Amino acid sequence: MEVILHVYDVTNGASDKTNNTIVQINKIFKDGIGLGGIFHSAVQVYGDDEWSFGYCEQGTGVFSCPSGKNPMYTYRESIKLGTTAFSIFKVNQILRELSREWPGHSYDLLSKNCNHFCDEFCERLGVPKLPGWVNRFAHAGDTAAEIAGNTAYRLRQAKTEIVAASKVAYRFLAGVASNNSIVTPGSPVNSPRGSPRFQATWFKNLISSGSKPSTSSELGNRDESDEGAQATRSRNPRTESSRYAI
């Protein structure tokens, strides 16, 4: 049985101006340069009705209407996709399955629209999918959204790595300052300008004011480090007293 795709210009906007603009966009990008446009599609097989998918709050989003006569849109053209070897009973079974799998509330303009449904329907019928230009704008929008999401994730990941590296740098500077702050005969005690301990404290304040630990495990590691540092100071009173020498 022959499978036919019916394509419409999406002209269900609130104003004639909007609808005319969409028609002009489709003429330029589809008819003019062959890229694509903003289209609705439906598949006809066995009988005079076409099948498509749309939004609704409850129940399935799969629906049918007389082929080429959807009142919501402006009919554009029909495309013969091929023939299916399935009987009408098998096609009805496929439509029942799709009706369960495509609830109306799952509709998404970029990732799960009428054109995606027609692609899925055609694949199950064993015929070629829709021409690329029918749903190209949705694919481009979905790709852009995915790229934006990945970019945001990478920025968050980079921020976490920078904060972690800063904390490691602080611990290193704090350790250097602790070693250099032991008072020895003849060492200056009233010169904070060149003191590594003073620099480490300033660096700690800088890091602590603009960052927070991102995970609970990181907090646990910090607590263990603090406990280890306290134990070390209790075993080495000379180092403990040197903290206040600066």
Distance CA 38, CA 137 (A): 7
Greater model confidence, 205 or 245: 205
pLDDT at 149: 45
- SS3 state of residue 196: helix
Mean pLDDT for the chain? 73
Share of the chain above pLDDT 70, in %: 52
* 25-35 pLDDT per residue, tens: 887 877 666 66
Q: Contact at 8 Å (CB) between 42 and 141? A: no
Query: Has residue 210 got a pLDDT over 90?
Result: no
* 102-115 pLDDT per residue, tens: 999 999 988 899 99
* 143-195 pLDDT per residue, tens: 333 444 454 555 566 556 555 555 555 565 556 555 555 444 444 444 444 44
On the 0-12 / 13-18 / 19+ scale of CB atoms within 10 A, 61 is buried
Comparing CA positions, the residue from 33, 70, 53, 151 lying closest to residue 106 is 53
